[in-house]
Amino acid sequence: MPPTPKIKRPSSVTVEEFFRVNEKSLKLKLVGSDVGFARKISEPSVNRPGLALSGFFTYFAYKRVQVIGNSEHSFLEGLDPKLRAARFSQLCSWDIPCLVIARSHRIGDELIEIANSAGISVFQTNMMTMKFLNTATIKLEWAFAPNMLVHGCLVDVQGIGVLIQGDSGCGKSESVIGLLQRGGSLVADDAVRLRLVEDREVVGSAPDITRGMIEIRGLGILNVAAIFGVSAVRLSKRLDLIVELVRGAKTEDLERVSASADSHDIMGMKIGRVTLPVEPGRDVAGLIELAAINFKLRTFGYDSAVEFDQRLLKKMTDEQLG
């Protein structure tokens, strides 16, 4: 098994990264200056600054993205212009990352100018406030999730996320082609970005530059969607099983029959692992598919190795009893 790569744990995300990555999904539009793009979001959540606008700053979550929804906008509109400017200036005096105005509401140019003068960028979205809060929180948790970059190919095989690993030249990409011909979907080839989501599952995806692409020796870079159809590509997939391809002398140490299920630790999560020997003439893609199906059976409570042991024990018992 390749050595475990270093785990990255992001402590912050810049406002520019948050905007560029989520501009379309969160329907964000810059209505002020980009003066605050270098500011950092230090907590993977969002905050509605209603109490802060009323002058109460105790326990103010200033490290989060600040969202002005219906109630905050209505409160500001009901204030005297001078008091409104004073309260907004007080809010912007804190080191907040950025401001997002929900439901396509508009705030006065004077308030935008106050924010820009304080080095804070202002965005607008037409999303409902609660929908934006939920979606933005998910996006931020994804950005802040512990992650690592591993070498291998991640494929969706009958709903099972299979990470294929092995030495260079052992046939990983060729096996993926065989799985795609059997109806599988490619998530990532060669480099796989793994993220620990909510401390409960590991999700894999491809770097932007290689998404939907696969490299085959002798053929070069191939566009999977163009050859196999768009259904043959997935943006992300939960990691369920690791298949390590080995060849040569390494295959001599493999057990022919084993009732124990092997596993590998990925960022604190136990991931099932299968080691498959690679030899000329072996249908490696078919074996990987069988490994995925067998893993699925185990999740349903059926284990072929356990059943074999039970049969063997029964036969031995029957023979002893005559």
Domain boundary residue, one of 111, 144, 177: 144
- Which of the following is catalytic: 64, 73, 139, 172? 172
- From first to last of its 322 residues, the chain has per-residue pLDDT tens of 555 678 999 999 999 999 999 999 999 999 989 999 999 999 999 999 999 999 999 999 999 999 999 999 999 999 999 999 999 999 999 999 999 999 999 999 999 999 999 999 999 999 999 999 999 999 999 999 999 999 999 999 999 999 999 988 888 999 999 999 999 999 999 999 999 998 899 999 999 899 999 999 888 999 999 999 999 999 999 999 999 999 865 555 555 555 456 889 999 899 999 999 988 888 999 999 999 999 998 888 877 767 777 777 777 777 777 6
Q: Is the separation of the CB atoms in 269 and 238 below 8 Å? A: no
Co-location of 114 and 206 in the same domain: no
Residue 26 contacts residue 8 (beta carbons within 8 Å): no
Give the total number of structural domains in the chain: 2
Query: Which residue from 237, 230, 297, 295 is spatially nearest to 261, judged by alpha carbons?
Result: 295
270 part of the active site: no
* 103 and 170 co-located in one domain: no
Contact by Cβ (8 Å): 13, 144: yes
Q: What CA–CA distance (Å, rounded) separates 145 from 223?
A: 29
151 and 131 in a common domain? no
Q: Do residues 140 and 178 share a domain?
A: no
The one catalytic residue among 27, 40, 103, 151: 151
77 in any annotated domain: yes
182 SS3 class: coil
Which residue, 295, 10, 311, is CA-closest to 162?
A: 295
**DSSP class per residue in 14-31:** EHHHHHHHHTTTTTEEE-
CA angle at 304 for the pair 301 and 310, rounded to the nearest 5°: 95
Per-residue confidence (pLDDT) for residue 251, from 0 to 100: 55
* Residue 300 neighbours by CB under 8 Å, 6+ apart: none
Q: Are residues 228 and 122 in the same domain?
A: no
Question: Does residue 314 fall inside a structural domain?
Answer: no
* Residue type at 216 in one-letter notation: I
* 267 and 249 co-located in one domain: yes
For residue 226, the SS3 value is helix
- Looking at the fold, whether 37 and 26 belong to one and the same domain comes out as yes
The CATH number of the domain where 62 resides is what? 3.40.1390.20
Q: Respond yes or no: is residue 265 known to be catalytic.
A: no
The answer to whether position 18 is within a domain reads: yes
197 in the same domain as 108? no
Domain identity same for 140 and 159: no
- Domain for residue 95, yes or no? yes
Identify the domain boundary among 144, 164, 181: 144
Query: Both 167 and 303 in a single domain?
Result: yes
Residue written as tokens 């997939």?
237
Q: Are 104 and 70 in contact (CB under 8 A)?
A: no
Helical residues (DSSP H) of the chain, grouped into ranges: 15-22, 50-53, 70-77, 81-92, 109-117, 129-144, 172-181, 224-228, 284-299, 304-321
In a domain, 88, yes or no: yes
114 assigned to some structural domain? yes
Strands across the sheet containing 28-30: 28-30, 121-125, 98-101, 65-68, 46-47
What pLDDT does residue 318 have? 77
Kindly state whether residues 166 and 49 are assigned to the same domain: no
Domain containing 259 equals: 147-308
Whether 313 is in a domain gets the answer no
Annotated catalytic residue within 82, 200, 217, 256: 256
Kind and range of the H or E element at 201?
Answer: strand 201-205
- Assess if residue 131 is contained within a domain: yes
The CATH number given to whatever domain includes residue 173 is 3.40.50.300
Residue finishing a domain among 144, 168, 194? 144
What are the structure tokens assigned to 68, written together?
Answer: 């002005």
- Tokens 């990352």, residue located: 97
Residue of 167, 190, 262, 303 marked catalytic: 190
Got the DSSP string for 236-263?
EEE--EEEEEE-GGGGGG--SS--SPEE
Catalytic annotation on 190? yes
- Is residue 58 located within the same domain as residue 190? no
